[in-house]
Structure 1
Amino acid sequence: MARPRVHDLEGLLDTAERLVVDVGPRGVTVRSLAAAAGVPNGTIYHAFGSLGALLARVWLRAAADFLNLQTELADQAKNPVEATVAAADAPAAFAERRPEAARLLLTVKKEHLLGPQVPDDLAGDLLALDKRLVALLIELAGRLWERHDAPAVEVLTTCVVDLPTAFFRRAMTVGEPISEDSRTRLITAVRAVLLLPPPRKD
């Protein structure tokens, strides 16, 4: 059997992404995905090896695209505070470009999507993404305070991970656009957090 074309695989990943957001990871089966994508069940196994590997690829694709955008927006900022604000607002910017992927990342826990069937190469790619995010937080902490210690990175985690999740998750959960009011309040909160330097370790 000929291997499916790359654009066909992208379409299959798009369908899986929508299904995960609509019914949750546990609601996605080989049969339901194949039916929604209009392909035979065997296409999934032939192209990805297992449903678990396919779902891992869905997460990896969404997370990589988001992190690329987040890094790009932070790099374009004129100073460290604006770079942190841009990184914090990145989920909203990503939701404008890839709404289903943004919903996936903000409303579905990675642990619920990934399972023991994740191939080693994909597990390595997922770990590399986590390291890229940590590297971005460390870089921002260095630019802001010339510090790279855990308390400084924790403050950046609050700004770039925790606050956006708190401000944007409700809209993403119900499938609504993120409002300008939410984005403005997030930016205000991030700027306020950055007014206080991180605590020093004793």
Structure 2
Amino acid sequence: MARPPRFDTDQILDAAVRLAASAGPGGVTVSAVAQAIGAPSGSMYHRFSGRTALLAEVWLRTVERFQEGYFAALHSDADPRRAARAAARHVVAWSRAHPQEAALLLHGPVEFGRGDWAEEYTRRADSGNERVYAAIGGLAASLGVTDPQGRDRVALALIDLPLSVVRRHLRAGGVLPAHAEDLAEECAASLLTS
């Protein structure tokens, strides 16, 4: 009977998140992750075919966990304005609750080797992005916004603006101020009423 593995995939990816948060994507190597959890490097290749697969998995797991809460926020209220405000708040609240993961996401998928990912990984990433933009498009339609400029304003309010609130503080190595969620929500609401 084979021995169960000492480290599960989540433990490995958690270590990769910590490395990415402290040293950026360049700090995430198979040997660095193995060393961080005290596993032999060879055992890592039983889970990941190499560094590219490891980078893809850590990126996708982080994005998918964020998106799960984001979709819940976007569908949290029948009133699209309240749902939009909840989604803007979620970006900041999730980042506050998961600062290492938020720091990882500031780098973007290209820095995590997206150009070299296997098709299954790019398909997962594209599917998640399509879901986000479809949900935002649906919310825009619920608000009566149908023109390209209006849809861009909704995307700015619900994606770009809340991320900018987070980015400035995390890139400076600081913590998010207590009013960050309120600021993201108020700005999003202002953009959606113009």
* TM exceeding 0.5: yes
Q: State the percentage of identical aligned residues.
A: 28
1:183 Cα shift?
A: 2.0
Tell me which residue corresponds to 2:29: 29
Supply the distance in 2 between the matched residues of 1:104 and 1:42 (Cα, whole angstroms).
25
Tell me which residue corresponds to 2:132: 133
Where 2:117 maps in the other structure, the secondary structure is: coil
Supply the distance in 2 between the matched residues of 1:162 and 1:181 (Cα, whole angstroms).
18
1:3 Cα shift?
A: 7.5
Asked whether the 8 Å contact 1:17–1:100 carries over to 2, the reply is: yes
Where 1:39 maps in the other structure, the secondary structure is: coil
Where 2:143 maps in the other structure, the secondary structure is: helix
Supply the distance in 1 between the matched residues of 2:39 and 2:117 (Cα, whole angstroms).
22
Asked whether the 8 Å contact 1:88–1:159 carries over to 2, the reply is: yes
1:152 Cα shift?
A: 2.8
2:89 pairs with 1:86? no
Matches of residues 147-166 of structure 1 in structure 2 within 5 Å? 147=146, 149-166=147-164
Tell me which residue corresponds to 2:50: 50
Matches of residues 7-22 of structure 1 in structure 2 within 5 Å? 8-22=8-22
Asked whether the 8 Å contact 1:21–1:108 carries over to 2, the reply is: no
1:96 Cα shift?
A: 4.2
**Aligned structure 1 segments of 4 or more residues deviating by more than 3 angstroms:** 1-5, 174-177
Which of 8-17 and 162-171 deviates more? 162-171
Asked whether the 8 Å contact 2:92–2:184 carries over to 1, the reply is: no
Which of 31-40 and 107-116 deviates more? 107-116
Asked whether the 8 Å contact 1:56–1:118 carries over to 2, the reply is: yes
Q: Deviations along 1:163-202, whole A, 9 cap, x unmatched?
A: 1122111222245442232222222211111112xxxxxx
Supply the distance in 1 between the matched residues of 2:192 and 2:56 (Cα, whole angstroms).
35
Tell me which residue corresponds to 2:71: 71
Which of 182-191 and 114-123 deviates more? 114-123
Where 1:49 maps in the other structure, the secondary structure is: coil
Asked whether the 8 Å contact 1:85–1:190 carries over to 2, the reply is: yes
Pick closer, same or farther for the CA change 1:48–1:189 going to 2, 3 Å.
same
Supply the distance in 2 between the matched residues of 1:98 and 1:4 (Cα, whole angstroms).
27
Supply the distance in 1 between the matched residues of 2:61 and 2:52 (Cα, whole angstroms).
14
1:78 Cα shift?
A: 4.3
2:114 pairs with 1:111? no
Where 1:82 maps in the other structure, the secondary structure is: helix
Asked whether the 8 Å contact 1:45–1:51 carries over to 2, the reply is: no
Tell me which residue corresponds to 2:177: 179
Gaps of 5+ in 2: none
Supply the distance in 2 between the matched residues of 1:102 and 1:9 (Cα, whole angstroms).
20
* Paired residue total: 193
Q: Deviations along 1:105-163, whole A, 9 cap, x unmatched?
A: 2x21221012444121111111101101111110110111152x432321111011111
